[in-house]
Amino acid sequence: MRIKNFQAQDMGITESMGHLFDRTKETLGTTDVVIVAVRKRLIDAARAVAKGKDAPGLDPKEYALRPFSALLPRGVNDWEAAVGDAIETRPETFRFSV
């Protein structure tokens, strides 16, 4: 089977990664500061949801960045103007995804 897109790749890796690793026995170093920060945010979010609060990231007003890909003709000199409408983030353009 050929993996054709990022979502299929992500699912394939997630489903084939094997047994869970006990992260309490893991030793992180100074270069792992981003891993520590992400885990803290995830744990804090899970605790907040357990207390009945909304999960973070559900409010469209919080979004200012959006992934985007475009193939522009060679003659385009101002790429920002060419894709401006597509990359502009507004609450009404928010698409919820899991």
Note the pLDDT tens digit of each residue in 15-67: 777 777 788 888 888 889 999 999 999 999 999 999 999 988 887 767 666 67
- What pLDDT sits at residue 90? 67
Domain count within the chain: 2
Whether residue 96 is predicted with pLDDT greater than 70 in this model: the reply is no
Assessment of whether the complete model's pTM goes beyond 0.85? no
Q: Which domain holds residue 92?
A: 59-98
In a domain? residue 91 = yes
C-alpha R_g of the chain: 19
Tell me, yes or no, whether 52 and 31 share the same domain.
yes
Is residue 60 within 8 A of residue 91, CB to CB? The reply is yes
